Structure 1
Amino acid sequence: MNDIIEAIKKASIEIKKVIDKGDTGKSENENSTGDTQLKLDIASDIIIENIFKEIPSIKEIVSEEQEAIVPLHEDGEYLIAYDPLDGSSLVDVNLSVGSIYGIYKDDFTSKNIIAAIYVVFGPRIEMVVAAEGSVKMYRLNGGIFHYVQDIKLDFKGNLNATGSTQMFWPTEHKKLLKEMFDEGYYLRYSGGMVPDLHQILLKGGGLFSYPATTDRPKGKLRQLFEVFPFAFVYELAGGAATDGFKRVLEVETTHIHDTTPCFFGSKSEVEKVKEVYKQYAS
């Protein structure tokens, strides 16, 4: 596992260089779900794949930006699903973005995720590693990632970050948010999954949600690259993650690019999600 962590550190330093060059233009390509790929997405994907090719312990990789699983080393032990640069369109307005990595064994399913790592590219470059029973944060300084702290969520927080388009929210989601804001929760939403989830983790707790909507009944966020890694992080940090009814890490995967509704947060907020959504279950 250490070789993978070191590879991600190396890739992150190279991705930061690409971000600093500032080429935020669109390419002529689309990813598997029809989103136009930015040049930053493609460049970041190439950096990560080339570095992972050098790691013998990695058996297979799959990127959000690619259609299929890429075999690397037949005798490798680990499978890695990753989003090279989540929220890349936010670079154009100088907001934080990030990379997300889910590390699996045997196959790409929720029950087989064994570690998760994400990197935030903002005013500071920070890497969070969820593995071996703890969630640890590191910060890049002088070309080296230095340990900063372990991360633990409080039982209840006060932040609320909710995605998707409001006109498509189901009734239960509108009710959930109204009740939370009536209770005094603060809205904190940048449109970037990585920085918003990172903020909730560092500020002690709250809720991040990307629900099922009338236009996207299976949600928008992808299981292997985004949802399962952050579910693993949040559970290990003492929080929870649900699809509205059950634990996210019990959601079934039928295709590598499957999506799912998702809610991440402190245990109190996730329980509230399930209570409200249960009222509307058919």
Structure 2
Amino acid sequence: MQDIIKAIEESAKKIKYLIETGDTSKSEFENSTGDTQLKLDIQSDKIIEEIFAKIPTIKAIVSEEQDEIKNINENGKYLIAYDPLDGSSLVDVNLSVGSIFGIYENEFNAKNIVASVYVVFGPRVEMVVTTSEVKMYRLLNNEFKFIQNIKLNEKGKLNAPGSTQNCWTSFHKQLIDDIFTDGYRLRYSGGMVPDLHQILLKGGGLFSYPATSDRPKGKLRQLFEVFPFALAFEKAGGQAIDGEKRVLEVHTNHIHDTTACFFGSNTEIKRVLEVYSKNV
């Protein structure tokens, strides 16, 4: 596992340089889910793939930017699903973005995720590694140094409501309104990585990306985004659900499947479950 972490560190340094110097314009291509790829997406994907190809313990990889699983080493142990540059459209307005990695064994599904890593590219570059614990590292003098363990409080103060609001169900809108009425503060940049990182570092709150009328299965991808963060939130003492059950019990039929998702500390997730159990 350590060789994979080191490979991710290497990719992060190269992507940091790419973000600082690269072309932020759109390419002529779309990814498998129909999103127009930025040139940064394609270049970040290439950086990671080339680095992972050298790691003997990696059996196969799949990127959010590609259509199929790529076999790397027949005798490898780990399968890695990754989003090379989540929120890449925020780069040209100088907001934080990130890379997300889900590390699996045997098969790409929730029950087989064994670790996850995400990297935040902002004013500082930080990497959060989840195994049995959640540990944060910061890039200092071109090396990642351990900073702290991350643990959530039982109750948080932040609310990050995602997706298109005019496509929300009435009960979800009421839930979000009630949370704000109770004094929670809005924190939403449009980037999954920085928003979830903020909730983890600030001790808790709620990030939601529900099923909506335009996206009844949610927008965020299971293997590349949802499962890696679900593992981090659970190991940090919080929860991740799809509105009814644990995210890490959600079934995957296709590598690009999506799901509704709610990440947070225990008080906020309990509140979501109470509302959704009465309305779904």
Provide the residue aligned with 1:244 in structure 2: 243
**Within 2, Cα distance between the matches of 1:93 and 1:57?**
38
Provide the residue aligned with 1:148 in structure 2: 147
Provide the residue aligned with 1:33 in structure 2: 33
Q: Deviations over 1:157-207 (max 9, x none)?
A: 010001111100111211110110111110000000000000000000000
Provide the residue aligned with 1:187 in structure 2: 186
**Within 2, Cα distance between the matches of 1:43 and 1:128?**
22
TM-score, normalization by structure 2: 0.99
- The CA deviation at 1:84 is 0.1
| SS of aligned partner of 1:226 | helix
Q: How does 1:148-167 map to 2 (within 5 A)?
A: 148-167=147-166
Query: Does 1:272 pair with 2:244?
Result: no
**Within 2, Cα distance between the matches of 1:200 and 1:90?**
19
Equivalent residues of 1:175, 1:276 under 8 A apart: no
Q: Deviations over 1:107-163 (max 9, x none)?
A: 0000000000000000000000001x1000000011100000000000000100011
Provide the residue aligned with 1:56 in structure 2: 56
Q: Which amino acid aligns with 1:172?
A: F
Q: RMSD value over aligned CA atoms?
A: 0.5
Q: How does 1:159-178 map to 2 (within 5 A)?
A: 159-178=158-177
Query: Does 1:221 pair with 2:196?
Result: no
- Structure 2: any 5+ residue segments left out of the alignment? none
Q: Would you say how many aligned residue pairs link Structure 1 and Structure 2?
A: 280
Q: Which amino acid aligns with 2:224?
A: F
Q: Which amino acid aligns with 1:200?
A: I
**Within 1, Cα distance between the matches of 2:34 and 2:5?**
31
Provide the residue aligned with 2:80 in structure 1: 80
Query: Does 1:210 pair with 2:171?
Result: no
Provide the residue aligned with 1:15 in structure 2: 15
Query: Does 1:89 pair with 2:89?
Result: yes
**Within 2, Cα distance between the matches of 1:258 and 1:124?**
32
Q: Which amino acid aligns with 1:102?
A: G
**Within 1, Cα distance between the matches of 2:22 and 2:189?**
20
**Within 2, Cα distance between the matches of 1:179 and 1:277?**
14
| SS of aligned partner of 2:215 | coil
**Within 1, Cα distance between the matches of 2:231 and 2:174?**
27
- The CA deviation at 1:279 is 1.3
Q: Deviations over 1:213-253 (max 9, x none)?
A: 00000000000000000000000000000000000000000
**Within 2, Cα distance between the matches of 1:22 and 1:165?**
30
**Within 2, Cα distance between the matches of 1:34 and 1:224?**
17
Provide the residue aligned with 2:256 in structure 1: 257
Q: Which amino acid aligns with 2:35?
A: D
Q: Which amino acid aligns with 1:68?
A: E
- The CA deviation at 1:22 is 3.8
Q: Which amino acid aligns with 1:86?
A: D
**Within 1, Cα distance between the matches of 2:223 and 2:170?**
28
